[in-house]
Amino acid sequence: MATPLKVAVLISGRGSNLQALIDAFGPQIADSPVKIALVLSNRPDAPGLDRAANAGLKTEIVDHKAFQSREDFDVAMDREIRAAGAAFVVMAGFMRLLTPQFVTAWKDKLVNIHPALLPAFPGLNTHRRALDAGVRFHGATVHFVRHETDSGPIIAQAAVPVLPDDDESTLAARVLQAEHKLYPLALRLIAQGNVRVEDDRAIVSDAPLADGVLFNPALTS
C-alpha cells in the first residue's frame, strides 16, 4: 500500500463536505489513500469541528478575528498545517480569501470545491444566480486554487439539472448531494497520482470518463 496523502481540511461552518471526506477517508477506513492530518477552522463555533472531533481527528482553530492582517492569519494557518505534517490542503466550505503568498506556497497542492459549474458563477450566491440566469444545468467544481477567486485548473465537475419548481434551497440541496460524491472522487484521483497540471490545466488519467449527452428537458425520442 502506497503512503497516504496527508491532507489538512480547512472549514468555516457546517462541514458537510468534511463529513463526506471523513466517511470516505476517515480513520475507520483501512488502507485509505488519503489521511486527514488536521481539520482547521477560522471560526471557533464551526459545527464541522464537532464532526472532526467525533471522528477522532486533530482539530485547530485559527480565528481570523485575532489577527491584524490577512498575511498574519495565513502565516499562522500555514504553520499549523505544516506542524500537522500535511502535504496538501483541501478547502471545504472555507470562506476566507487567501493571500497570494499562501496560494503560491501551496500551488497545485491546494484544492477548493465551489457550488457552480465554473467558470460560471464564481463568488457567492451561486444558486440564486443560476436560477436568475435560467440555466438548465448547475453543479459543483473541484479545482486547484489560483490567485483569482474561484479560479484555477478544473479537476472534476458534477452537473445537476435545474428543475422548473426549484427555489434556492431545493437547488442547493441537489448540488450539495453531488458535492458529497464529487470531492471524495477528486481527492482519491489526486492521492492516487492520477491528476497533473500542464499549461495550467488539470489532466486526469486512468479514470473512466462520463459518456453520453445530458438534455434538460430530456430528449424523449
Distances in Å between the Cα of 85 and the Cα atoms of 6, 80, 91, 175 are: 7, 9, 17, 32
Among the listed residues 26, 33, 93, 153, the single contact to ligand GAR using CB under 6 A? 93
71/2 Cα distance (integer angstroms): 35
Can residue 92 be called a binding residue for ligand GAR (CB under 6 A)? yes
Window 146 to 165, contacts with ligand GAR (CB under 6 A): 150
Q: What is the grid cell recorded at 69? A: 492582517
Of 83 and 167, CB closest to ligand GAR: 167
170/184 Cα distance (integer angstroms): 23
State yes or no: is 138 an active-site residue.
Answer: no
Window 184 to 213, contacts with ligand GAR (CB under 6 A): none
The CA-CA-CA angle for residues 111, 94, 116, to 5°, reads 65
Min CB(196)–ligand GAR separation in Å: 24
Can residue 115 be called a binding residue for ligand GAR (CB under 6 A)? yes
163/136 Cα distance (integer angstroms): 7
Can residue 17 be called a binding residue for ligand GAR (CB under 6 A)? yes
- List residues binding ligand GAR (CB under 6 A): 13-17, 48, 92-93, 113-115, 150, 176, 179
